[in-house]
Structure 1
Amino acid sequence: MPPADAHAHVTDLAAFVAASPSSFHAAHEVSRRAVAAGFSDLSESDAWPAGPGRHVVVRDGAAIAWVVPVGAGPTTPVTVLGTHTDSPGFTLKPTPDASRAGWRQASVEVYGGPLLNSWLDRELALAGRVATRDGEHLVRTGPLLRIPQLAIHLDRQANDGLALDKQRHTQPVWGIGDAPGLLAAVVDGVCDPADVLGWDLSVVDTQEARVFGADDELFASPRLDNLLSTHAALTALLATEPDVITVLAAFDHEEVGSATRSGAAGPFLQDVLSRIRSGLGADGEQAHRALASSLCVSSDVGHSVHPNYAERHDPGTVPVAGGGPILKINANQRYATDAAGAALWQAACERAGVPSQAFVSNNAVPCGSTIGPITATRLGLRTVDVGVPILSMHSARELCAVVDPWYLTRAMAAVLSPAP
């Protein structure tokens, strides 16, 4: 049976996921929780306070929260916890209404690399933001859409190898007939659909996260990639009193390459760090000296060994659910971990009393990447890539052990806390 603290942690994680159906909602929830903990909510277009303080700023679907401790100066190092707020799935196209064969359908575009079959036969919602003549609004519907699978009677080979065409086979139904009106259903009670001039809307699963399995050891949820890490980093930031500048950088658009104004390849983090340094009176040389002593912990979920496909994993490095956070290593620098960063992370896990394990890919199965190499390249920060091992990554519903998000949070808190 997992400890009570681990269960309390995933209960709060489930609430965070429920409040974050889109990256825009996730950024808002990060800000809301930070403000509730005493942070001030800043606007990028305003002057920022100088010196010590606790602040948060939102840019589209990304949020950065930071703490400048009393006594911080021009060369005080910074520790960054880097995560992302977006998840793979579908987004609504500019012409949202479609109809075929007597069904109302939504026109959607694939976002990132979802496991398409996992989205079939689920009650789905739309969530995100709409831009109107007088500003922006966060919106979310109840269950509204469904991507229906073809019956086995009409595809006798479906169980021998299901192949979904990304255009023809992924368009959801949401009603009967051919009358338009999807956008009106999305903004009902929020604004007049005639005032909507643009939107960023994602398709999201409506099934709630839950604990299950033997001794309640397992946790299933949508969007664990990567709200799990965002929640862990925020929880750690709010729970520590650091002696260096500490930052949560929750970026958008990691699933599609990060090359946006709110992604890790964009200027958001650099902009915030520059303004913090300016408020501390740092000149260019002092800012560089501070970065040379700084650290970024890039956290994203990783792969637990799959019991039904064990041959897809490295035979000598076998991360398992419940075994603690993973340290991600890749010789081709798809992850940014090096020996020095690995030592810092392992020491933090030891201080936190948290087990840790390594992850490396099977040589015949290329791995993905994270914000880690991007942040290291942009800022020159020493960076270590870590995460939690999960099953069903990029599914509409992913799976981890109950204890691992709690372990990750404790290890992050140890990174942020002064070493004894």
Structure 2
Amino acid sequence: MTAQQHVQHLLDFIDGSPSPWHAVSSIESAVQAAQFIRIDESAKWQLQENGRYYVVRDDSSIVLFVLGNKSPAESGFKIIGAHTDSPGFRIRPNTATLSDGFARLGVEIYGGPILATFTDRDLSLAGRISFSDEKQVRQKLVRFDQPLLRLPNLAIHMNRGVNEDGLKLHKQNELPLLLARFTEGQLPQSYLTALLEKAAAVDIGQLVSWDLAVYDTQKGVFWGANEEFYADSQIDNLASCHAGLQALLDENVLQHAESTLVCAFFDHEEIGSESHIGAAGSFLADVLQRISIALSLDREDTARALAQSFLISADMAHAYHPNFPSAYDADHRVFVNKGPVIKSNASRRYSSESVSSAYFIRWCEDAEVPYQRYTHRSDLPCGSTIGPIASAKLGVRSVDIGCPMWAMHSIRESAGVQDHEYLIKVLKQFFVD
């Protein structure tokens, strides 16, 4: 595949995954085509030699693994971690209200989105619903393909200072999304419920509750004079999930890996990972422990396996923006299409340290991939990743890396075409080294 083809595949993946629940469904479809077997956490695990498996927890977190040619006690686990969620808006339970003849949907802010970027976009809804079926509660994915919602900007004639002061939106009063124009007597909540029941093909009255994200219906594109950049929503962090998945599904990797290979893609990173499906929960630790049990490893061998393991936390990095040079540490500017970034922070907001960084540099050199080094300005608060959380949880050495990008947490982000191919190449090298 060329770099352009890798990114087109990525854009198709993102556009088919407008919510964390859809992202896991897309990943599941891809690995099922590669003969991965789904195993249930409530069942007793029986694993076959060189088997390919995956586990889903609560529809939006997934762990994939391939048993290596050697026992984990001898070669450890090689783990790529990323996250399926992105900042944005989530729909409230009692959400639809009638205001001056307009039906509006109330939202809560999820994570740290750039709120102004959600204005004047063709928005819609995607997620999952829970519905009753013969006294059982079941789940189903739902997605509206057509633009259903909008957050229109206030005209500059009523907001004369917007270009000087920036767009400021009151989080409670000014974020509800316009849905429809209603006549007197119509009930907005019933209208929304009917829309969801129709989209999910469930009978009237079955719908119980929902988890719905607001997403941008505009598809991903290549841009730039030479189409060397790409833009889409949720690049942070579905691009890292996609790169890890492509590395794992590579036939050379699947045939020649000695270690047990793992991809762990978590929900809830953008809100701190503190959940039963987040990186701070037990999901990954549970899977690794159960692999050890199924392979008849005792506690000593399990400890030996973890001691030889390594975690690459793959999340996006802040690319240098030439319009805002003062936002960056002058000695640690990283550039789009110049290779993956090793992210460091003395306060351990990132998990990288000298030894784990040295390993990653070696994998880059072996894969003939350039690399860059990044630290945040000391006078700005630094974000974090799943790396420090999962590394501490498991007691496993870890490095934080990612592709450089612009407009992180915007509804429309941008990154470099060549970088995505670079990342896939070095992750493959990590798996087979």
Shorter-chain TM-score bucket reads over 0.9
Aligned partner (choices 210, 227, 231) of residue 199 of structure 1? 210
Moved more, 51-60 or 89-98: 51-60
Distance 1:317 1:45, change over 3 A: same
Structure 2 residues without counterparts, runs of 5 or longer = none
The answer for the alignment partner of 1:179 in structure 2 is: 187
In 2, distance between residues paired with 1:215 and 1:187?
A: 45
1:47 paired to 2:50: no
The answer for the alignment partner of 1:403 in structure 2 is: 418
Where do residues 15-414 of structure 1 align in structure 2 (5 Å cutoff)?
Answer: 15-52=12-49, 53-60=51-58, 61-72=60-71, 74-134=73-133, 135-142=138-145, 143-161=147-165, 162-177=167-182, 179-180=187-188, 181-190=191-200, 191-239=202-250, 240-241=253-254, 242-414=257-429
Structure 2 residue matching 1:410: 3-state secondary structure: helix
1:295-354, CA deviations, whole angstroms, 9 ceiling, x for partnerless residues?
A: 000000010011111101011111000111000000110000011100110011111111
Moved more, 62-71 or 317-326: 62-71
Q: How much has 1:187 moved relative to structure 2? A: 3.2
Q: What amino acid maps onto 1:147 in structure 2?
A: L
In 2, distance between residues paired with 1:74 and 1:317?
A: 39
Structure 1 runs, 4 residues or longer, greater than 4 Å off: none
In 2, distance between residues paired with 1:77 and 1:256?
A: 30
In 1, distance between residues paired with 2:83 and 2:72?
A: 29
* TM-score relative to the length of structure 2: 0.94
Q: What amino acid maps onto 2:286 in structure 1?
A: D
In 1, distance between residues paired with 2:113 and 2:302?
A: 40
Structure 1 residues without counterparts, runs of 5 or longer = none
RMSD: 1.2
Moved more, 220-229 or 41-50: 41-50
Moved more, 215-224 or 179-188: 179-188
Q: What amino acid maps onto 1:23 in structure 2?
A: P
Q: How much has 1:183 moved relative to structure 2? A: 2.7
Q: How much has 1:51 moved relative to structure 2? A: 4.2
Over the matched positions of the two proteins, sequence identity in percent amounts to 40
Structure 1 residue matching 2:31: 3-state secondary structure: helix
Q: How much has 1:186 moved relative to structure 2? A: 2.8
Q: How much has 1:156 moved relative to structure 2? A: 1.1
1:340-371, CA deviations, whole angstroms, 9 ceiling, x for partnerless residues?
A: 10011001111111110011111111210000
* TM-score relative to the length of structure 1: 0.97
Moved more, 249-258 or 57-66: 57-66
Structure 2 residue matching 1:152: 3-state secondary structure: coil
In 2, distance between residues paired with 1:158 and 1:116?
A: 14
In 2, distance between residues paired with 1:155 and 1:187?
A: 39
Asked if the contact 2:72–2:260 (Cα under 8 Å) also holds between the matched residues in 1, the reply is: no
In 2, distance between residues paired with 1:115 and 1:415?
A: 34
